[in-house]
Amino acid sequence: MTDLKLPAGMTITAPVKPEYAEILTPEALAFVAELHRRFEPRRRELMKKREERQQRLDAGELPDFLPETAEIRAGDWKISPLPDALKDRRVEITGPVDRKMIINALNSGARMFMADFEDASSPTWDNCVQGQINLRDAVRGTISLEQNGKSYQLNDKTATLLVRPRGWHLPEKHVQVNGEIVYGAFFDFGLFFFHNAKEQLARGAGPFFYLPKMESHLEARLWNDVFNYAEDTIGVPRGSIRGTVLIETIVAAFEMDEILYELREHSAGLNCGRWDYIFSYIKKLRNHPDRVLPDRAKVTMAVPMMQNYSKLAIQTCHKRGAPAIGGMSAFIPVKGDEAKNAAAFEQVRLDKEREANNGHDGTWVAHPGMVALATEVFDRIMPAPNQIDSDKQKDFTLTAADLLTPPEGAPTEAGVRMNINVGIQYLAAWLRGSGAVPIHNLMEDAATAEISRAQLWQWLRQGVKLEDGRTLDQNLFDRLYAEEVQNLGADFADAADLFKQTATGDTLAEFLTLPGYERLA
Ligand X SMILES: CC(=O)SCCNC(=O)CCNC(=O)[C@H](O)C(C)(C)COP(=O)(O)OP(=O)(O)OC[C@H]1O[C@@H](n2cnc3c(N)ncnc32)[C@H](O)[C@@H]1OP(=O)(O)O
Confirm whether 445 is a catalytic residue: yes
Based on CB atoms, which residue is closest to ligand O=CC(=O)O, 230 or 263?
A: 263
Based on CB atoms, which residue is closest to ligand O=CC(=O)O, 116 or 484?
A: 116
CA distance 154 to 108: 10
Site track 383-422 with ligand X (rule: CB under 6 A), x = hit: ----------------------------------------
Stretch that binds ligand X, among 15-23, 260-268, 304-312, 360-368 (CB under 6 A): 360-368
- Find the catalytic residue in 43, 90, 99, 164: 164
CA distance 243 to 435: 23
Which of ligand X, ligand O=CC(=O)O, none sits in contact with 411, Cβ below 5 to 8 A by type? none
Q: How far is the CB of 90 from ligand O=CC(=O)O (least distance, A)?
A: 18
100 binds ligand X, rule: CB under 6 A: yes
Confirm whether 53 is a catalytic residue: no
CA distance 26 to 100: 28
Which of ligand X, ligand O=CC(=O)O, none sits in contact with 248, Cβ below 5 to 8 A by type? ligand O=CC(=O)O
Grouping H, G, I as helix, E, B as strand and the rest as coil, residue 182 is: strand
The residue type of 474 is Q
231 binds ligand X, rule: CB under 6 A: no
CA distance 66 to 70: 7
Return the DSSP state at 156: S
CB 135 within 8 A of CB 191: no
Q: How far is the CB of 193 from ligand O=CC(=O)O (least distance, A)?
A: 21
Edge-to-edge order in the sheet of strand 10-12: 10-12, 171-177, 180-183
Stretch that binds ligand O=CC(=O)O, among 77-85, 198-206, 268-276, 354-362 (CB under 6 A): 268-276
- Selected from 258, 445, 450, 484, the binder of ligand X by CB under 6 A is 445
CB 181 within 8 A of CB 173: yes
32 binds ligand X, rule: CB under 6 A: no
CA distance 93 to 110: 6
Between the alpha carbon of residue 106 and those of residues 130, 169, 243, 409, the distances in Å are 17, 29, 19, 41
- Selected from 82, 293, 301, 437, the binder of ligand X by CB under 6 A is 437
Based on CB atoms, which residue is closest to ligand O=CC(=O)O, 23 or 328?
A: 328
275 binds ligand O=CC(=O)O, rule: CB under 6 A: yes
276 binds ligand O=CC(=O)O, rule: CB under 6 A: yes
Return the DSSP state at 242: E
Contact positions with ligand X (CB under 6 A) in 239-278 = 275
Which of ligand X, ligand O=CC(=O)O, none sits in contact with 422, Cβ below 5 to 8 A by type? none
Relative to beta strand 180-183, strand 171-177 is: antiparallel
Contact positions with ligand O=CC(=O)O (CB under 6 A) in 179-238 = none
CA distance 387 to 54: 36
- Selected from 32, 33, 95, 207, the binder of ligand X by CB under 6 A is 95
Based on CB atoms, which residue is closest to ligand X, 167 or 207?
A: 167
Based on CB atoms, which residue is closest to ligand O=CC(=O)O, 20 or 275?
A: 275
Q: How far is the CB of 406 from ligand X (least distance, A)?
A: 20
Based on CB atoms, which residue is closest to ligand X, 321 or 368?
A: 368
- The helix/strand count (H/E) of the chain reads as 17, 15
Relative to beta strand 324-328, strand 267-272 is: parallel
Q: In terms of DSSP H, where are the helices of 235-333?
A: 256-262, 274-284, 304-319
CB atoms within 10 A of CB 18: 8
CA distance 104 to 95: 10
Stretch that binds ligand X, among 112-120, 196-204, 230-238, 404-412 (CB under 6 A): 112-120
351 binds ligand O=CC(=O)O, rule: CB under 6 A: no
Based on CB atoms, which residue is closest to ligand X, 114 or 464?
A: 114
Q: How far is the CB of 436 from ligand O=CC(=O)O (least distance, A)?
A: 11
The β-bridge partners of 324 are 270
Which of ligand X, ligand O=CC(=O)O, none sits in contact with 246, Cβ below 5 to 8 A by type? ligand O=CC(=O)O
Q: Which long-range contacts (CB under 8 A, 24 or more apart) does 488-495 make?
A: 488/421, 488/424, 488/425, 491/428, 492/424, 492/425, 492/428, 494/428, 494/431, 494/519, 495/424, 495/425, 495/427, 495/428, 495/430, 495/431
Complete DSSP assignment for 217-232: HHHHHHHHHHHHHHHH
- Residues of this chain that bind ligand O=CC(=O)O (CB under 6 A): 119, 246, 248, 273-276, 327-328, 447
- Please report, as ranges, the residues that interact with ligand X according to CB under 6 A: 93-96, 100-101, 104-105, 116, 119-120, 275, 328, 332-333, 366-368, 436-438, 443, 445, 447
Provide the annotated active-site residues.
Answer: 164, 445
